[in-house]
Amino acid sequence: SMAKGRKNVVLFPFMAQGHIIPFLALAHRIEQMGYAVTFVNTPRNIKKLHKSLSPGSSFIDLVEIPFNCADHGLPPEAENTDSISYNLSLRLLEATLTMEFPFRKLLSDLVDAGDKPVCVISDFFFGWTAGVAHEFGIFHAIFSGASGFGMACYYCLRMNLIHPGPRNVEFLLPDFPEAGKFHVTQIPFFMLVAGENDPMTKFQRKNLPKWSSSDAFIFNTVEDLDRSGLSFFRRKLRIPVWPIGPLLLSRREAPSSLEKCMEWLDKREPKSVLYVSFGSQNTISASQMMNLAKALDASSRNFIWVVRPPLETDISAEFAAKKWLPEGFPQRVHDQERGLIISRWAPQMEILAHKSVATFMSHCGWNSVLESLKNGVPLIGWPVAAEQFYNAKMLAEEVGVCVEVARGTNGEVREEDIGEKIEMVMGESEEGQRMRRRAIEVKEMIEEGMRDEGAHKGSSVKSHA
Ligand code: UDP
């Protein structure tokens, strides 16, 4: 039967928190637009989702697709990449190809029940779902929570492996010259050394070409912010590409540090605080952390720093900021009321929206970028992994709201360089003033995009209803 009289949209993310979370935000948006949502995932993930779904979401149906880890030589907890190694994550990714049969059955059951979906929206890892949706005459779209620019760079690098020699440290991407010149350090090392037989390359070279058989590509981004990446995909895939961002999942439970952070920020001057965070999964090395602390210590700027255990430490280890930071630093910062050191998890969205926050030192994960720019906050970029490198490049070179301070977790980062970049963005330099003005323009651009956006996506989905 029709889901309570509503037309049904099927959502199918890859089994990783970084994928499931943006899909959940999408599910809520689609529900608000008057559709029912069938949210598909493997049994363990669905059971977890039952506990975290907003109680008000009566039109989101969580549906299990059969999947047995043991069939793929995986331990039972390997149904979500969050609790396993990279190698096991790869095996999990490869195993998703076997879900074609049960996914077809799932769609067929919906059709038989008189509840034929108006649209299937799948993860960018699941290019094969386009063919299955089309067997039933169902519209198919791919959704990415990453930026158009980041995905475009990723696409080019997987399809045309680039192995620069010692003399060509700078090069253009073959299909994406608009991205500008890349320096080898602007590309994660694993990407530069990946060969034809690299398992991820093999997987993606089958998957990426299937994107063009989809009917649309939906990005959590903003057209004017991310123009070159979006036009790359329009040209490459020849399907509609729809930016619908910023789509940000509002969290239900506030972290315990919320009140403390807000009270502290309330007492600071407007636009005087540097916020430092490397996202939900990444961290830097112990020596980088030490130099960052020294730079903050030497600087006169206020700051909030979300400290996660450095790379060398077991992430589940007891929180020991004192051990990882210079002697007396936390106490000094506390006594001088200069900064707040928050352990592991801070209320980031609320912090970035506070009027006292001036600048964000960030790993440039796409959600962090959107949250920063939505509030007109310029960035000091320190990409650590994945497409963060490309985001930082775009923000620095194309958008003009970011200056990079370091790349990756291997290199030594000098205390003086960090201090210089902080002063450059927060101080009175011409460059800093320009970045701050530009960040306000981008904030206005995003607000503009959000006004159009409802009608924009609405019409896209509705036109196929
Ligand atoms: N986040 C947060 N508090 C933290 C760290 C992260 O609320 O201390 C949130 C942040 O607001 C963002 C998400 O976690 O929405 C991180 O996503 P992003 O794409 O920036 O990076 P990732 O964590 O996926 O690397």
Output the average pLDDT for the chain: 92
Angle, alpha carbons 47-349-445 (nearest 5°): 115
> Is 92 in contact with 72 (CB distance < 8 Å)?
yes
Structure confidence at residue 460 (pLDDT): 41
Alpha carbon of 368 to ligand 1 centroid (Å)? 6
Structure confidence at residue 320 (pLDDT): 80
| pLDDT one-digit tens code per residue, 309-318 | 899 887 677 7
The share of the chain scoring above pLDDT 90, in percent, equals 81
pLDDT value at 167 more than 50: yes
| pLDDT one-digit tens code per residue, 114-128 | 999 999 999 999 999
What angle do the packed helices 86-95 and 199-207 form, to 10 degrees?
A: 30
> What distances in angstroms separate CA 338 from CA 70, 268, 297, 298, one per listed residue?
52, 9, 9, 11
Which of the listed residues 352, 367, 374, 390 should we mutate to test ligand 1's pocket, taking the one with most ligand atoms within 8 A of CB? 367
pLDDT value at 252 more than 70: no
Structure confidence at residue 365 (pLDDT): 96
pTM: predicted TM-score of the whole model, two decimal places: 0.94
Alpha carbon of 401 to ligand 1 centroid (Å)? 19
Structure confidence at residue 22 (pLDDT): 92
CB atoms inside a 10 Å sphere around CB 137:
8
| pLDDT one-digit tens code per residue, 61-110 | 999 999 999 999 999 889 999 878 889 999 999 999 999 999 999 999 99
Question: pLDDT band at 253, cuts 50/70/90?
Answer: low
Where on the phi/psi map is residue 216: left (φ > 0), alpha (ψ -120 to 50), or beta? Answer: beta
ipTM of the complex model = 0.99
Structure confidence at residue 458 (pLDDT): 41
Alpha carbon of 293 to ligand 1 centroid (Å)? 21
Q: Within 6 Å (CB) of ligand 1, which residues are found? A: 18, 277, 279-282, 306, 345-346, 348-349, 365-368, 371
Angle, alpha carbons 113-118-123 (nearest 5°): 105
Alpha carbon of 451 to ligand 1 centroid (Å)? 25
Alpha carbon of 66 to ligand 1 centroid (Å)? 30
- Alpha carbons within 13 angstroms on the beta-carbon side of residue 301 total 31
- Mean pLDDT of the 281-309 span: 95
Which of the listed residues 348, 360, 366, 389 should we mutate to test ligand 1's pocket, taking the one with most ligand atoms within 8 A of CB? 348
d(CA 24, CA 49): 9
Structure confidence at residue 86 (pLDDT): 87
- Mean pLDDT of the 31-38 span: 95
Q: Which residues, listed in sequence order, are joined to residue 40 by a DSSP beta bridge?
A: 63
Point out the ligand 1 atom lying closest to the alpha carbon of residue 368: 20
| pLDDT one-digit tens code per residue, 420-461 | 999 999 999 999 999 999 999 999 999 988 875 554 544 444
> Is 120 in contact with 129 (CB distance < 8 Å)?
yes
Structure confidence at residue 389 (pLDDT): 98
Q: How is residue 301 written in tokens?
A: 């700027």
pLDDT value at 322 more than 80: no
- Mean pLDDT of the 357-369 span: 97
Structure confidence at residue 459 (pLDDT): 41
Alpha carbon of 146 to ligand 1 centroid (Å)? 13
> Is 70 in contact with 80 (CB distance < 8 Å)?
no
Residue type, 63: V
- Mean pLDDT of the 189-202 span: 92
pLDDT value at 131 more than 60: yes
- Mean pLDDT of the 258-276 span: 97
Question: pLDDT band at 463, cuts 50/70/90?
Answer: very low
Give the list of residues 6+ apart from residue 424 with CB closer than 8 angstroms, or none: 403, 431, 432
Residue type, 374: K
Question: pLDDT band at 255, cuts 50/70/90?
Answer: confident
The share of the chain scoring above pLDDT 70, in percent, equals 94
Structure confidence at residue 2 (pLDDT): 52
